[in-house]
Amino acid sequence: MSIQDILRTMDYGTAPEDASIVTAWLDKHQNGLGHFIGGAFTDPGETFEVANPATGKVIAHVTQGTEADVDAAVAAARQAQAGWAALSGHERARYLYAIARHVQQHARFLSVLETIDNGKPIRESRDIDVPLVARHFYHHAGWAELADDELAGAEPYGVCGQVIPWNFPLLMLAWKIAPALAAGNTVVLKPAEYTPLTALAFAEICAEVGLPAGVVNIVTGDGATGAALVGHKGVDKVAFTGSTEVGRRIREETAGTGKGLTLELGGKSPFVVMQNADLDAAVEGVVDAIWFNQGQVCCAGARVLVAEAVEDRLVAKLRTRMETLRVGDPLDKNTDMGAIVHPIQLERIRRLMEEGAAEGVTVTQGDAPEGCFYPPTLVTGVSPASVLSTEEIFGPVVTVTPFRTPDDAVELANNTAYGLAASIWSENVNTCLDLAGQIKAGVVWINCTNVFDAGAGFGGYRESGFGREGGREGMMAYRRHPARRGEAIEPAEPHAMPGHSTGAAIDRTAKLYIGGKQARPDSGYVYQVPGGLAGLGNRKDIRNAVEAASKAAGWGAQTGHNRAQVLYYLGENLSARAAEFAERLVDFGASSTDAEAEIDCAIRRCFWYAAQADKFDGAVHATKSAHVTLAMHEPLGVMGIVCPDVAPLAGLISLVLPAIAMGNRVVVVPSQSAPLAATDFYQVLETSDVPGGVVNIVTGPRDTLAETLAEHDGIDGVWYVGGAGAMVEKASAGNLKQTWVEADRARDWTGPEGQGKGFLHRATQVKNIWVPYGA
């Protein structure tokens, strides 16, 4: 037999990882593991079993957290928070550096424990997860040093309640805890019920480095424990990674509480392969995109969208590559795919596959041993409406759908309620960047996939949640500007019955403004306001306005310079009519001095946001070598803006201008009591080259219209000023739109606090694009 024959027929041997130290650690805790509260472990209480998914063997008993346990952990975090925040950034950094070093010193132990607890291959735990854990603590140690300078004026939230999933137990812990601590917060973290062990080992490391008691608290348990933590009145900020369904409930439960909220939820990420892609590289990309961690990855490239011309070649290569994937013992260094985390998850994968197979698709599968394993699976002949294309399977299942043109690829990529990540493959980087700008996802990888680094933000659009973890964006999510307190002003209920005379022989009757045209309200009714009559808008008017705004998507594609010119022109035309607008404000009850000040403020806002339109830049993040990571500010899309009842012109200008300066289109509900300032303003819009549909104005009952905006799936974000902020936040949970709510008089809309970059940050979301760069 020749050497070539030997190499061709040679099979892998086994390369088992030594687990003796982890086994000894588990034996040490064979009587059960308690919570980590106030710097010490509690005695075990009522426990639940934790099993090794690869063997089914019970490996530990962990305490089921109660409401009393959560109370104790939150109290410990609260007691420690003031002292922790009072430390200098350098002092906090030293602790984070120490944690990073100790994670590295215990790297092999943590890797083996993670693999035994979760079922993922040891190569992934050892080479990806644990090194990234250390990287996050090192990176955020640097942020602890710099936060007061780089995020000036912002303060820690206080106590953060954090709930993490089972797919990356230790890495998700680092994503949550590192920025929270760097920003001066203390934390109570609940790990997933299936995989709590590395979190408890991490707690031992916190004790080992001498972290002050109460700064980090770990409470284990099931969903009820997580619900108790999320709903706890002593928690100031909630950070959750998990399913969209649970994230939606958390949005509803935290509505009106004033808690900060970060949600990193589900995904159904497209993996786009263009005709000129390097198909061999793309195949390896698919391996990393969907068969990494058994497909149990929120950003997994589960939908391969391939140019029709190369579909057959790509599918053939994928089938050949699947034959070489080794599924089995996660502790074997030669294993490519380990065990599914739990039999319940395995059953879910099988059920969804049965539903998909019933649709007439073609299924190709590799091999997998008996037990809690599922083979690598390739599904072809899949329609965009298939359950396999729309549902997050969270398993090693990839679908293939062909497309003909780049526009088709974008349409298919965006044919999902999610927007977490995307991967684009082409030898033409211009093509990649063109598609990256059109695909609605918070992370886009070009000729690579599933690349992560602490220096770049991670998070999604749409029903994949909001907020970012990692980088500057992630730090901003753990600091806030001091809360503003206002008052609930309830304007008189508008009604269509004839009322008192306004004093004019012929009252002015203002129409709505939709799609660049004046429009009568659908109801046909008007209500009396100072200076005349205003249209009584309703749900149908909001629907028409949202439709008009959606059609004006070209506004966001304009350059910042072009938008700036429109805003400058807007300010110029408003200035020309300053006396007229001041007179109108006096009619509404303002003094002449206040009216002139409000007009001057509005004009200045036009020029300031025009200046910002092409200067509110993104960043180039310092991440892994061979990549440049572009953090691009993108508009939210279509925004609903409900204006304050006071300062009817300045309030409207202060909210609308930053939104449209960043490329959003808006549906505006102006001051209910004095809407004619807004309806006068649309006359200026009509003469200032603002495209139809960019600004739409619907007058009428503030809170009724606000609820309609919050519930509308075509609205991507809502800004609301008034007394029904809780309602707006709760109603927004349907499509998980971003919200910003304040009470009336929480700020002086004509003063410095009515303007600033904070408005621009809230009007944008960050897309991180990973581009190959250098060697």
Q: Which residues are known catalytic residues?
A: 264, 298
The three-state secondary structure class of 518 is: strand
Beta strands per DSSP E along 596-661: 619-621, 627-635, 638-642
CA 262 from chain center: how many Å? 7
CA proximity to 606, closest of 576, 643, 574: 574
Q: In angstroms, rounded to a whole number, what is the distance separating the alpha carbons of residues 655 and 684?
A: 17
Q: Which residues of 724-760 are buried (b: 16+ CB within 10 A; e: fewer)?
A: bbebbbbbbbbbbbbbbbbbbbbbebbeeebbeeebb
In contact, 598 and 590? CB cutoff 8 Å: yes
Q: In angstroms, rounded to a whole number, what is the distance separating the alpha carbons of residues 190 and 218?
A: 6
Question: Dihedrals φ, ψ of 610, to 5°?
Answer: -60, -40
Question: Dihedrals φ, ψ of 379, to 5°?
Answer: -120, 125
Q: In angstroms, rounded to a whole number, what is the distance separating the alpha carbons of residues 573 and 609?
A: 15
Q: Which residues pair with 718 in a beta bridge?
A: 640, 739
Helix/strand number for the chain, H first, E second:
28, 32
In contact, 489 and 745? CB cutoff 8 Å: yes
Residues listed for the chain: 775
Residues 6+ apart with CB under 8 A from 385: none
Alpha helices in 501-577 (DSSP H): 539-551, 554-557, 560-576
Q: In angstroms, rounded to a whole number, what is the distance separating the alpha carbons of residues 723 and 489?
A: 7
Residue 465 tokens read as 């949640």
Listing DSSP states for 71-135 in one string gives: HHHHHHHHHHHHHHHHS-HHHHHHHHHHHHHHHHHTHHHHHHHHHHHH---HHHIIIIIHHHHHH
How many Cβ atoms from other residues are within 10 Å of residue 400's Cβ?
23
In contact, 73 and 231? CB cutoff 8 Å: no
Please measure the distance between the N-terminal and C-terminal CA atoms of the chain and give it in whole angstroms. Answer: 41
Q: In angstroms, rounded to a whole number, what is the distance separating the alpha carbons of residues 645 and 95?
A: 48
How many Cβ atoms from other residues are within 10 Å of residue 546's Cβ?
24
In contact, 161 and 185? CB cutoff 8 Å: no
Residues 6+ apart with CB under 8 A from 279: 273, 310, 313, 314, 317
Q: Which residues pair with 380 in a beta bridge?
A: 362
